[in-house]
Amino acid sequence: MCERCLLAETPLTRLQGLLGRKGLEQGEGLLLRPAASIHTFFMRFPIDAVWVDRDLNVLKVSPDLGPWRTAACKGAKGVVEMAAGEAERVGISAGDKLTLA
């Protein structure tokens, strides 16, 4: 799903997230853990949010979240943020299992 996925697992890295970036390239993403909700305040580009449980099972995909939006997923323990359209491009949907390599 993500060839280059950054991890944001500390309070500081989760707080910064994708803020200050101009965009994400194809195959690039950010895994925020823990996270059951996100916002795109102050962001400059839309994203896809792929919500996962503790075992990285995909619970939900929130596509094309533009700037100044919020999103959440009940039961989510993390979220992978990718460029808008990437989840559809790579065929990610609820029920899929992700792995970290």
Q: Residue 29 maps to which CATH number? A: 2.60.120.1140
Amino acid occupying residue 13: T
- The model's pLDDT over 22-53, given as tens digits with 9 standing for 90+, comes to 889 899 999 999 999 999 999 999 999 999 99
pTM for this prediction: 0.92
pLDDT category of residue 101 using cuts at 50, 70 and 90: confident
What range defines the domain where residue 19 resides?
Answer: 4-90
Residue 96 lies in a domain: no
CA atoms 56, 43, 38, 13: torsion sign: positive
Residue 97 lies in a domain: no
If one counts the domains in the chain, the total is: 1
CA atoms 99, 87, 71, 45: torsion sign: positive
